[in-house]
Amino acid sequence: MAKYLQILELEEPIARLKVVHVAGTKGKGSTCTFAESILRSCGFRTGLFTSPHLIDVRERFRLDGLDISEEKFIRYFWWCWNKLKVKTGDDIPMPAYFRFLALLAFKIFSDEQQVDVAVLEVGLGGKYDATNVVKAPVVCGISSLGYDHMEILGNSLVEIAGEKAGILKKGVPAYTVPQPEVAMSVLKQRASELGVSIRIVPPLDPRQLEDQPLGLHGEHQYMNAGLAVALANTWLERQGHLDRIHVKDHGTLPDQFIKGLSIACLQGRAQIVPDLQVSSECKDTSCPLVFYLDGAHSPESMEICAKWFSHVTKKDAAQPGPLEQPRSGINSKKILLFNCMSVRDPQILLPRLLDTCAQKGLCFDQALFVPNQSQYNKLGSHASPPPGREQIDLSWQLSLQTVWEDLLRGKKGLNGTSSSGASLVFESLPSAIKWLRETSQQNQSTSCQVIFLGIFDYFQ
Ligand SMILES: Nc1ncnc2c1ncn2[C@@H]1O[C@H](COP(=O)(O)OP(=O)(O)OP(=O)(O)O)[C@@H](O)[C@H]1O
Ligand SMILES: [Mg+2]
Ligand SMILES: [Mg+2]
């Protein structure tokens, strides 16, 4: 990275950026999004770099809260690409995907618009992450730690926490959320070696928000929001801008903070998406097919997500309302649409989901497994579609299906009750969605609530 920064002449510009840096297993992106939104609401020009993206790579680079425009993205992309291409070769190869994107973020944030603050999410780990070239961030945060990317970061929480603690720096205040004891002691140890304090921030109390809901949904977001408030506050303090906010004496947050937290948005995190195609053909005002999207792909986030899905689907049934919700007085089917990378262990992920849902009284009627294929054809270098349909390898999805079926069989064996959930494997996402639409159109007396997990789980 140091060499690439030299090639792109980014060393000095990076040193000038006023960075908020966040690592963690879960909640990094949400914490960054909240922190950015708060500081924008305080009147600052912001850059936000997160990962992964849901649909378009430009989602990873936001300027003043908006995805970078195509025109700017293309301009910066080629500027970096061409410069690197000339100066790299056998000894220094072109940077890998995530490194390139991080370099692009540095270029974008330091160049064209001179942002007041750059909020950076670590891609993977911390110590060796591409974003960790920032030598002196204004403040850093470590969100919830748990088990993920063990093939790279190590198998124990101690090792994982050690990697994440690699973003802590001498002289830079640090914050974290309540963590498992072993992880916390690693963070504290590293902080004390560096002579900095790491403060533990409790989850935000909803009362501090004066009845405004958070822009990102789910109980766990209060944890991320609490961390984001501490990061934004410290950034303001260290930059000498505390005069911009009016601290109230009755324990609620400053108005700009409340506004920032309530308008924050990040696609694909506890996002409820009614299927507009199906609902447009439905006479009723509510929607027969609703997707509950989330990027969960670690055991902790599967559990969090299961709680969220159980909670919102129960609430929707109790308070039938407009489009977002399924129709009242109608059977509702709970369907799982799932994929995860083969480095993850479905024997851990799927039971965690199923058990948490079962504890909340929710059983799945069906489970669908799909590869991350979103298109049928890939374009080659001559921009023409290949002549035949690509053969898609579904062996991983078939093994996910087997794990699921075994789980259900095990549960049936134990207590005789279980969701009857037939499971299916589809060759692509569009084909699964087509099937869901057809099914819900054919069966108007049933609404489908589809929890859609792990689909954009890929290697950053
Ligand atoms: N504090 C948390 N504790 C546990 N799970 C969380 C927490 N925050 C978010 N999640 C779960 O992780 C998903 C991703 O959230 P977010 O994008 O904020 O995390 P991330 O650390 O950026 O994840 P990724 O590894 O996908 O980059 C959420 O949709 C939710 O399921
Ligand atoms: Mg991750
Ligand atoms: Mg992320």
Question: Which of 21, 22, 25, 26 gets mutated to test ligand 1 (max ligand atoms within 8 A of its CB)?
Answer: 26
Q: Is the CB of 327 under 6 A from ligand 1?
A: no
Q: Is the CB of 60 under 6 A from ligand 1?
A: no
Query: Can you read off the two tokens belonging to residue 22?
Result: 């966040």
Burial 144-182 (b: 16+ CB within 10 A, else e): bbbbbbeeebeeebeebbbbbbbbbbeebbbbbbebeee
Residues with Cβ within 8 Å of residue 258, at least 6 apart in sequence = 209, 210, 212, 252
CATH code for the domain of 93:
3.40.1190.10
Same domain membership, residue 27 and residue 100: yes
The neighbour count for residue 91, using CB atoms within 10 Å, is 6
Sign, Cα dihedral of 294, 298, 301, 307: positive
Percent of the chain with pLDDT over 90: 67
Tell me how many degrees the CA angle 124-127-131 measures, rounded to the nearest 5: 60
Q: Is residue 352 scored above 80 in pLDDT? A: yes
Cis peptide before 52 (omega within 30 of 0): yes
Whole-angstrom distance, CA of residue 271 vs CA of residue 178: 25
Same domain membership, residue 258 and residue 337: no
pLDDT tier at 28, thresholds 50, 70, 90: very high
Q: Give the residues across from 20 on adjacent strands.
A: 119, 139
Same domain membership, residue 295 and residue 193: no
- Which ligand 1 atom lies nearest to the CA of residue 33? 18
Mean pLDDT of the chain: 88
Residue 159 lies in a domain: yes
Give the mean pLDDT of 211-234. Answer: 95
Residue 373 lies in a domain: yes
Cα Rg of the chain, angstroms: 23
In what helix (H) or strand (E) does residue 359 lie, and over which residues does it extend? helix 346-359
Same domain membership, residue 250 and residue 289: no
Exposure on the CB side of residue 344, measured as CA atoms within 13 A: 23
395-415 helix and 346-359 helix, angle to the nearest 10 degrees? 40
Give the mean pLDDT of 21-44. Answer: 97
Which of 126-140, 152-166, 187-201 bottoms out in mean pLDDT, i.e. has the lowest?
Answer: 152-166
Question: By residue range, what is the domain housing residue 164?
Answer: 2-263
Residue 40 lies in a domain: yes
Give the mean pLDDT of 160-174. Answer: 96
Q: Which residues surround ligand 3, an ion (CB under 5 A)?
A: 29
Residue 397 lies in a domain: yes
CA of 415 to the centre of ligand 2 (A): 35
pLDDT tier at 456, thresholds 50, 70, 90: low
Same domain membership, residue 222 and residue 93: yes
pLDDT score for 405: 94
Same domain membership, residue 153 and residue 246: yes
Same domain membership, residue 303 and residue 236: no
Query: What tens digit of pLDDT does each residue of 249-292 get?
Result: 778 999 999 999 999 999 888 889 999 888 776 655 567 899 99
Q: Is residue 196 scored above 60 in pLDDT? A: yes
pLDDT score for 416: 44
Ligand nearest the Cα of residue 31 is 1
Q: Is residue 384 scored above 60 in pLDDT? A: no
Whole-angstrom distance, CA of residue 343 vs CA of residue 323: 37
Burial 265-288 (b: 16+ CB within 10 A, else e): ebebbbbbbbbeebbeebeeebbb
CATH code for the domain of 438:
3.90.190.20
Same domain membership, residue 324 and residue 371: yes
Same domain membership, residue 351 and residue 242: no
Residue ending a domain, choose from 237, 263, 289:
263
Question: Which residue owns the Cα nearest ligand 1 atom 17?
Answer: 29
Whole-angstrom distance, CA of residue 355 vs CA of residue 396: 22
Whole-angstrom distance, CA of residue 353 vs CA of residue 425: 19
Give the mean pLDDT of 302-316. Answer: 89
pLDDT tier at 459, thresholds 50, 70, 90: very low
Residue ending a domain, choose from 263, 286, 315:
263
- Indicate the number of domains in the chain: 2
Residue 85 lies in a domain: yes
State how far the alpha carbon of 366 is from the alpha carbons of 275, 313, 370, 373, 424, in Å.
18, 16, 13, 21, 8
Task: With H, G, I as helix, E, B as strand and everything else as coil, classify residue 161.
Answer: helix
Residue 382 lies in a domain: no
**Strand extents, DSSP E, 216-372:** 271-274, 289-294, 331-338, 366-369
Same domain membership, residue 423 and residue 327: yes
Whole-angstrom distance, CA of residue 119 vs CA of residue 348: 33
CA of 179 to the centre of ligand 3 (A): 19
CA of 46 to the centre of ligand 3 (A): 18
Of residues 428 and 74, the one with the higher pLDDT is 74
Same domain membership, residue 294 and residue 242: no
pLDDT tier at 112, thresholds 50, 70, 90: low
Which of 54-63, 115-124, 166-175 bottoms out in mean pLDDT, i.e. has the lowest?
Answer: 54-63
Which of 21-25, 35-39, 340-344 bottoms out in mean pLDDT, i.e. has the lowest?
Answer: 340-344
Residue 276 lies in a domain: yes
Q: Is the CB of 296 under 6 A from ligand 1?
A: yes
Q: Which amino acid is at 49?
A: F
ipTM tops 0.95: yes
pLDDT score for 319: 58
Q: Are 373 and 429 a contacting pair, CB within 8 Å?
A: yes
Q: What is the pTM of this model?
A: 0.85
Residue ending a domain, choose from 222, 244, 263:
263
Same domain membership, residue 103 and residue 244: yes
Query: What tens digit of pLDDT does each residue of 52-62 get?
Result: 988 789 999 99
Q: Is residue 460 scored above 50 in pLDDT? A: no
Residue 385 lies in a domain: no
